[in-house]
Structure 1
Amino acid sequence: MTFLLSRRTALIAGSASLALPQAWAQGTYPSRPVQLIHGFGAGGNADVVARLVAQKLQDSFKQPVVIDIKSGAGGSIATNFVAKSAPDGYNLVMLTGAHTVSAALKKSLPYDPVKDFSFISTVSSFPFVVAVRAEHPAKTLAELIALAKKDPGKITFTSVGVGSTQHMVGELLGSAANAELLHVPYRGGGAPVQAVIAGDVDVLTDTLTVATPHLKSGRLRALGVTSATAWPSIPDIPPVSGTLPGFEVRSWLGIAAPASTPAPVVQKLTAAVHQALQDATLQQSLAAAGSAASPCTPDEFRTMVQKEIARWHAVITKVGIPLQA
């Protein structure tokens, strides 16, 4: 009898201990500041959108949501940091399309791009703009392509780093045009656009978040947008597909946590992100930054990441881009 009672007591205690994480997650998360980490420079698209979303999450959680930048390696430094963090919901990563590009382009990564994450939700989707400095001799995309074909490798394009989606846009542009463009990567943030404005690099392939202020000021001239049709916030900029039929690239931002984050925490984060993206003010801010709100479920996010990795792997193989160490 004593044995049976002891066993029953142990089972009850065990059940209670298993229930604790769920009760803790539902009842007290978050009970301290949450870090939203990204791997790109201040002022870039990831940084701007992360700060917009963080403010709404902070209002919802009644806890600070702090932006932490760990730039470099096409975003993988920040991604690896979160992948190796405790799965408690207090270290989140703002993933970009570079997450799937790196998975396809790198020979190896210090994390598994799918298995090491609890995906929360995508946040936004957006095209890229192809632009040159105001004084550049190319007035149209067709003229830029002609210059590139005349002097192979002389026309340069910049990005926020090797393996970034901006890098892939430039490579795809050259491939689609059958013209050799030279990639000149920068660390991130506002450095690429400043290099183009200064005349150090010919072509910017970047987000509207980065490019729009300089397009409005007249320091940059847009040659095309990578959406299939004209983008609502810049209707006067022609799609690249008008010159290179079939050309289309749209990317995304989304939030993830380390793998094995408790399901109640994932559910609470997903609900909070979706609520934030329903806010009209945030939608307007995203639109002003050249993006569109695009929430999804964790399962949809995971599936999209898997499909994007396969897509970029096919592109890299077709274009013949060497895998990076």
Structure 2
Amino acid sequence: MKPLIYKTAFAVSTLLAGVATATAASAVPSQITIVVPFSAGASNDSIARVVAPELAAQLKINVIVENRAGAAGVIGSSHVAKSAADGATLLLTSSTFVTAASTQPNMPYDALKSFAPVAMVGQGPLVIAVSGESSYQSLSQVLDAARAEPGKLNYGTSGIGSLAHLATTLLTDAAKVKMTHVPYKGAAAAAGDLAGGRIELMLANYSSLAPLLETKKVRLIATTAPGQDQAFPQLQPASATVPGYDVDIWVGIFAPAGTPSDLVEKYNKAFNQINRSPRLAGLLKLDGTVPASLSSDEFAQRVERDLGRWKALAKQHDITAN
């Protein structure tokens, strides 16, 4: 897909003149490219195309959205990691950034050392679903059945090493039950088999299941939030059945490592301002997520924590993405 350029209504020369007067301040590039490491039309791409014009207006520059899909986000992320650390190239990605780094061997970059975390855009839980025809009405009923017949119940995911795979593995560990993993090539295929009753359980982001929820072919029974989630007030959190269980999916912005810290902070403030946009909130709501505003240091800590968590789990269970 041809990159889209979001142009500012302000003169770039005026901006650069203003920056030049600030002693020791790093100049904001006249144009920024936001790389989305997933296909056009995917949820991350939709978010990028909402934040891009907002960022252009905030910083009075032009902003391009460019898709570089492949290898669960690794191809686009690698491009950004190798880009000049001048603030002209940013990465908009999701929690897949840390799950890929936890499960894919021979990564072309270091998820911590090759990037400067800039800002979190949004976050929210996964949902836990069963078939609409299933007799299971709660997560506790599913887990009781799994305990009664270890390995009999099947759960589907979008693939080995995906966030859903790791999140379900964490759930079965915490609940001390055994279920059989059925990996698919994408969440849509897994959701179709859930609706058809060929698998019993699925953890996924809300948008992957939304069409089947509308036709009542699948039913939600819980979320992976640590407590009652504002997007799903009718659902119990999994932690009510499995104390301490907590998984969410986030979307965030990264720059190449070595990007001047003052630029990182300038971008952080801009994205935190964008997070107040009603349009962004409306888009995130479609996936059961909400805007999130963290400092760049807080986001960096979150990335490091998640990476450590998923790496340990993947090593424990010998999970390697194909």
User: In 2, distance between residues paired with 1:88 and 1:158?
Assistant: 42
Letter in 1 for 2:30: P
Partner of 1:124: 122
Secondary structure of the 1:93 match is strand
Instruction: Give distance in 2, aligned partners of 1:194 and 1:53.
Output: 32
Check the 8 A contact 1:55/1:65 in 2, yes or no: no
- CA distance 1:146–1:303, shift in 2 (3 Å): closer
Residue of structure 2 equivalent to 1:210: 208
CA contact (8 A) 2:34 2:48 kept: no
Does residue 30 of structure 1 match 2:30?
yes
SS of alignment partner, residue 170 of structure 2:
helix
Shift of 1:256: 0.5
Structure-2 change in CA distance of 1:152 and 1:54 (3 Å): farther
Letter in structure 1 aligned against 2:208:
V
In the alignment, what sits opposite 2:255?
257
Give 2:317's aligned residue. 321
Q: Show the counterpart of 1:65.
A: 64
Backbone CA RMSD of aligned residues: 3.0
Distance 1:116 1:180, change over 3 A: same
Q: Deviations over 1:58-87 (max 9, x none)?
A: 454553432515133x43333223212333
Q: What do the CA deviations read for 1:201-238 (whole angstroms, capped 9, x no partner)?
A: 43221122333453343222011111122211211111
**Alpha-carbon distance between aligned partners in 1 of 2:250 and 2:167, rounded to the nearest angstrom:** 14
Q: Distance in 2 between matches of 1:202 and 1:67?
A: 38
Query: Partner letter of residue 246 of structure 1?
Result: G
> How far is the alpha carbon of 1:271 from its aligned partner?
3.0
Q: Deviations over 1:157-214 (max 9, x none)?
A: 2333332222111111222232222223344464443343344543221122333453
Higher share in helix: 1
Answer yes or no: is the 8 Å Cα contact 1:40–1:188 preserved in 2.
Answer: no
Does 1:87 find its partner at 2:85? yes
Summarize the alignment of residues 127-166 of structure 1 with structure 2, pairs less than 5 Å apart.
127-166=125-164
Change (3 A) 1:121 1:197: same
Please list every run of 5 or more consecutive structure 1 residues that lacks an aligned counterpart in the other structure.
1-18
Aligned mates of 1:144, 1:96 — CA distance in 2: 29
2:30 & 2:198 partners in 1: Cα distance?
Answer: 46
Higher mean alpha-carbon deviation, 50-59 vs 139-148, is at 50-59
Unaligned runs of 5+ in 2: 1-19
| 1:66 match: secondary structure | strand
Query: Which residue number in structure 2 is paired with residue 230 of structure 1?
Result: 228
3-state SS in 2 of match to 1:103: helix
Deviates more, 1:158-167 or 1:192-201: 192-201
Letter of the structure 2 residue corresponding to residue 34 of structure 1: T
Contact 1:34 1:90 in 2 (8 A): yes
CA contact (8 A) 2:131 2:219 kept: yes
TM-score, length of structure 2 as denominator length: 0.79
What amino acid maps onto 1:30 in structure 2? S
Q: Quote the residue 1:171 is aligned against.
A: 169
Q: Which range is displaced more, 46-55 or 254-263?
A: 46-55
How far apart are the structure 1 equivalents of 2:180 and 2:264?
42
- Which residue is equivalent to 2:16? none
SS at match of 2:171: helix
Report the CA distance between 1:25 and its aligned residue.
6.0
Task: Pick which of 57-66 and 75-84 moved more.
Answer: 57-66
* Contact kept in structure 1, 2:47 and 2:280, CA below 8 Å: no
- For the residue of structure 1 that corresponds to 2:239, the secondary structure is helix
Task: Name which of 47, 52, 55 aligns with 1:54.
Answer: 52
Instruction: Return the index of the structure with the highest Cα Rg.
Output: 1
Taking the aligned partners of 1:234 and 1:116, their CA distance within structure 2 comes to 36
TM superposition shift of 1:107:
4.9
Distance 1:262 1:248 in 2: 34
Distance 1:162 1:262 in 2: 37
Counterpart of 1:26 in 2: which secondary structure? coil
Q: 1:63 to 1:196 in 2, by over 3 A?
A: farther
Distance (Å, rounded) in 2 between the aligned partners of 1:156 and 1:92? 39
The aligned amino acid for 2:113 is: K
- Which secondary structure does the structure 1 equivalent of 2:62 belong to? coil
Aligned residues: 299
Counterpart position of 1:282? 280
Q: Which residue of 2 aligns with 1:310?
A: 308
Return closer, same or farther for 1:295/1:154 CA change in 2, 3 Å cut-off. Answer: same
